[in-house]
Structures are given as structure tokens and as C-alpha cells.
Amino acid sequence: MSSARVDYIAPWWTYWLHNFPHINLRFQPTDNSFQPEEENYQQSLIFLGCVAAAGLGLNLLCLAIYLSCLCCCRKDEEEESKKPNSCCVTWSAVAAGLITCVAVGVGFYGNSETNDGVYQLTYSLYNANHTLGGVDSLVTGTMGSMKSGLHQHLARLDEIFATRGDYVQTLQFMQQMADNVIKQLLGLPDWEEAKVDLASIADQTANIEYYRWLSYLLLLIVDLIICLLACLGLAKQSRWLLTTMMVFGVLTLVLSWTSLGADLATAVGTSDFCVSPDKYLLSQTKGIIGADIVHYYLYCNQTLSNPFQQPLTIFQRSLTTMQIQIQGLLQFAVPLFPTAERDLLGIQHLLNSSEASLHQLTALLDCRGLNKDYLDAMVGVCYDGVEGVLYLCLFSTLAACAFTVMLCAIPRAWRQIACRERDYDDIDEEDPFNPRARRIGSQNPNLTNMHSFCSYSSSMGSQTSLHPPAPAVSNAPMSEYMNQTALFGGNPRYENVPLIGRGSPPPSIYSQQYRNRYSPSMRATYLSMTEEQRRQFGNDFQA
């Protein structure tokens, strides 16, 4: 383990995450080495999730305090105080929408990067599993052919060559060579157990990643939909929609903090593995595969000798020696024992297939194939995978901020909408300047028509009931309107002069301070006017 790494270098963010404090649930520092089977290490990762849970609790506490203050404090309902609050709600909604859009974009990128990294890991695991399975199949097949097929041919030849002692010695020598080949094959590591572990790890990882990817995809879509519906509720001033989105916003806030804790623990644990993967792999293969073999495949440089070179060389020499002996028997023994030709050709065919298996076995046992799979897996996990998880952590943080702002803005908007509806409901139905009363009068002509009681041409004698008496009609609209204003106890107002020519009351007449000036007799006079008198009043002002 003293040789320096050449091909694999852990990225800087894995070292940054690896240096995070590792504290167990008893608030004691623990070793940051990747040891998932150790209880203290598991507690250190759970502690990171508890930190996110504490952040969620603090966030909900701040929201509860804010909502309590908003409900307890009395707001000034004057027009000057409503305008800034409306702008505050608008800008808060805009900020929440922009942050949500950025968070969703970051989340989609992080989810894709994480999925790519895990896919590369599982692909490399399946390739390594295929390589190890091929090695195991070749070793098993060669040993089976040597034990059964070669033994049967040699037994029949021993009967045929019973009268020739030199040929029998040759057969015995070939049996020794075959036993030597079997011995060398038995010296190779048993890949069956490692192969099964890789296959199971790849299958479990693929299944977990599929559900993780799908869950984050649904969470991203839900976040975007909630943000859009909240903005729609603000635009439509729908209190029930805002209330519904507020409930879903709280649930999404909880999910955001939960995903942040899970992603943070995953990123730190994976980074601990990426900083020193060799140490963990050596501990996991101890007792199954030799340390020199694991070291050979992990580093795979020219300075390391192939641990399989000696058994493969003996295997090759034994096959060559046996082929030479078979060639001699075919040349000299077949003319004397023609019945031995079939078994000798069978042995020759068996040796040729064993030599082909030897070449395939040599290629599969070479470190370059498995080392490439190992490096691809490490790049997928430590580069794409950890980077994607970090982007998912950023998404969770931005989503939590966005929904916090949204949860602060919705109650203010809800209260403003309630105040506006209450002010609208407080308008007197008999007020001649109430727009609702105007609509009723225009839709039902049988009801008494309403128009401005500034008219001074009433046939019901309404002007005689007013004190002081109405002045004479003049062609000066400005002085005429000012006189009418003074008549009803008000001061001359020049701000409403442009509305005189339209025959409609000034807009400020709808406010509460003007409605309080009209006595019951004034309202009765106005309500007693006919439609024709209202038209006559408008024509007088237009003239």
C-alpha cells in the first residue's frame, strides 16, 4: 500500500466532506475512516441527519413565532399602510418563485448526475462480475476435463499398451502432468464467492437507485406545482387555494429538510470511502482473496508482478510436455496398436481445448480489465455520484428557503384579501354611490333609479327641503359645483372638477368621510328622483 496512486485521485470535494466532524450520538468524536459495520461510525452519519432535523425544528419554530406575531398584532387598515404591505407580499412571492425555479433546475441536474454515477458503478460491477464468472467457468471446465476425460483416455490406453512398458511409463508421466495442472488450477483463488457478492451488490444498488431517482423526480415536480399554484392563488386572490398551498408548503418544507439530512449523510459516508477505498476493499476481501492479488488489481502498474504468473507458466509447460508425448505416441505407437489412435486423438483434442482455455484464462486474469472496471466505478461514485448528491443538498437548501419565504408571504396575502372583502361588505346598500346599488338599478329598471343628489331640478320639491335654498342655475360649471359643495356643508374642492362634465360624482365621494356627511333627508331626496331627472341633470352639466 506504499506505492502512490497513478490513475485514481479522489476529487477535492471528497476530502472536504471527509473532514466534516464525525460525532456519535453521545457527542464524542469518532474515526472518519469508512467503517459502515461499526456502530460509532453509523452514529456519526445519523448525527448529520439529526443536525438537519434540528434545522427543521428551528425553521418551524421561527415560522410559528412569525405567524403568532402576525395574528396578534393589529394592523392599520388605512390606505397608506396597505400599499407597502402589498408590495412586500408581491416581492416575497417573486423571490420565492425565482428561488424555487433555481432550486428545481439544480435538483434536476443533481438527480441526473447522481443517477449517471450510480449507473456507471453498477455497470462496472456487472463487468467485473462477468470477468470473475468467466475465470471461474474456465478453471472449473479445465479441471473437469483433466479429471474425467483425460483419466478415461489414459485408462483405456493403459490396457492397450499393457505389453509395452515404455508406453505405459509415458502414460504415467502424462498422468503426473495432468495432476500438476489440476494442482495449479486449485491454487488459483476461488472467485465464486466474490462473484456472488458483486452481483448481489449491483442488483441492490440498481434497485435502490431507481426508487431514489423516481422519488426525487416526484419531489421536484411537486415543488414546482406548489409554487405555481401559490402564485396563482395570489394572482386570483383565492383564500382557499392559498390555505391549501400553505399546508402542502409545510409538508414540502419537511421533505426538503429530510432529504437534506439524508443527502448530507450519504455524501459524507461516500466521501469517506472515496478518500481511501483500498483500505476498505482489503478488509472486505480478507480471508477470501490474498492481499497481494487485491493489491495487484487495484494498482496494476508495471512494478508489480503478476501473482498468477507462476501457476500459469507451469500450466503451459505441462500442456506442452503432454502434447509432445502424444505426438510421439501417435507417430510410433499407432502403427503397432491401431486401436489406440482414437484415444490418443481424444487426448490431443482435450489438450488443444485446454490450451485455448489457458490463453483465455491468462487474458481474464490480467489486471488491466478488472482495474479498468474498478477505476470506472470509482469515477462514477466519487466524481459524478458525490457531485450530484452535493447538488441535491443545494436543491434541498434552496427549496427550504423558498418555501419558508412563501409560508411567510401567504398569511399576509390571506389577511389583506380578508380585509378587502370586509371593507367591501361594509358598504351601505342604500348608498347612492355604491357600485353594487348602481348595478342593481341598471339591471332592474322597475326599482328607483339612483343618481347624484347634486341635482337642483327636482319635481318633488327636494330643494325646498334643504337649507339654505339652492342658488340659481349658472352657466359656470366651476362656480356651480363649488356652490353645491358649500351647500352640503363641505369646502370647495378643485380636485374633482374634471368629473363635472361627465355628470358623475367625484371618486372621493365613496369614502367613509363623505358618506357620513349625508343626512337621511338627503338620501331620501336622491332616491326619490326619476330616470328623466337624472338625464336632465347630466345634460345640464354637459352644456
> Does residue 420 carry a pLDDT above 70?
no
Res. 198 pLDDT band, cuts 50 70 90:
confident
Are the C-beta atoms of residues 36 and 296 closer than 8 Å to each other?
no
**Range of 4-18, 334-348, 385-399 with top mean pLDDT:** 385-399
| pLDDT at residue 384, rounded to an integer | 93
Model pTM score = 0.71
Task: Inform me whether the pLDDT recorded for 323 exceeds 50.
Answer: yes
Q: What is the pLDDT of residues 22-38, one digit of tens each?
A: 999 889 999 888 989 89
User: What are the tens digits of pLDDT across the range 470-486?
Assistant: 444 444 444 444 444 44
Contact 35, 41 (CB under 8 A): yes
Task: Give yes or no for residue 408 having a pLDDT over 60.
Answer: yes
Does residue 1 carry a pLDDT above 90?
no
| pLDDT computed for residue 163 by the predictor | 85
> Can you tell me the distance from the alpha carbon of 9 to that of 302, in angstroms, rounded to the nearest whole number?
19
pLDDT on residue 96: 87
pLDDT band at 410 (very low <50, low <70, confident <90, very high): confident
- Mean of pLDDT over the chain: 78
Q: CB 136: neighbour CB atoms within 10 A?
A: 19
Condensed to tens digits (0 to 9), the pLDDT of residues 201-223 reads 899 999 999 999 999 999 999 99
Residue 521 — pLDDT band, cuts 50, 70, 90?
low
Q: What is the mean pLDDT of residues 509-521?
A: 48
Q: Which three cell numbers, joined as nine digits, stand for 19?
A: 473532514
* pLDDT tens per residue across span 284-319: 888 778 888 888 999 888 788 888 888 899 999 999
Which has more pLDDT, 64 or 3?
64
Least-confidence region, from 99-108, 179-188, 281-290, 515-524: 515-524
Question: ∠ CA 196-198-200 to the nearest 5 degrees?
Answer: 70
23 DSSP β-pair partners: 29
List 29's β-bridge partners, or say none: 23
pLDDT at 4: 41
The mean pLDDT value for 101-107 works out to 94
Mean pLDDT (whole number) for 364-386: 93
Per-residue model confidence as pLDDT tens digits over 231-269? 888 877 777 888 888 889 899 999 999 999 999 999 999
* Per-residue pLDDT tens digits for 326-340: 999 988 888 888 888
Phi then psi dihedrals of residue 23, to 5 deg: -125, 130
Residue 515, pLDDT > 90, answer no
Q: How confident is the model at residue 272 (pLDDT cuts 50, 70, 90)?
A: very high
Local structure of 29: helix, strand or coil: strand
Assign 122 a pLDDT band (cuts: 50, 70, 90). Answer: very high
Question: At residue 503, what are phi and psi to the nearest 5 degrees?
Answer: 70, 25
DSSP-derived 3-state class of residue 23: strand
Give the C-alpha separation, 85 to 92, whole Å: 10
Query: Which whole number is the average pLDDT over 60-86?
Result: 67
> Residue 103: what residue type?
A
As a whole-number percent, the residues of the chain with pLDDT over 90 amount to 36
> Can you tell me the distance from the alpha carbon of 110 to that of 116, in angstroms, rounded to the nearest whole number?
10
pLDDT of residue 419: 58
Task: Please check the confidence at residue 499 and state whether its pLDDT lies above 50.
Answer: no
Residue 509 predicted with pLDDT over 50: no
Instruction: Determine the angle formed by the axes of helices 79-144 and 192-236, rounding to 10 degrees.
Output: 160
Report d(CA 450, CA 509) in Å as an integer: 15
Mean pLDDT of 172-196: 81
pLDDT over 80 at 5, yes or no? no
Compute CA 84 distance to the chain's CA centroid, rounded to the nearest angstrom: 36
pLDDT at 85: 55
What's the pLDDT band for 184 if we cut at 50, 70, 90? confident
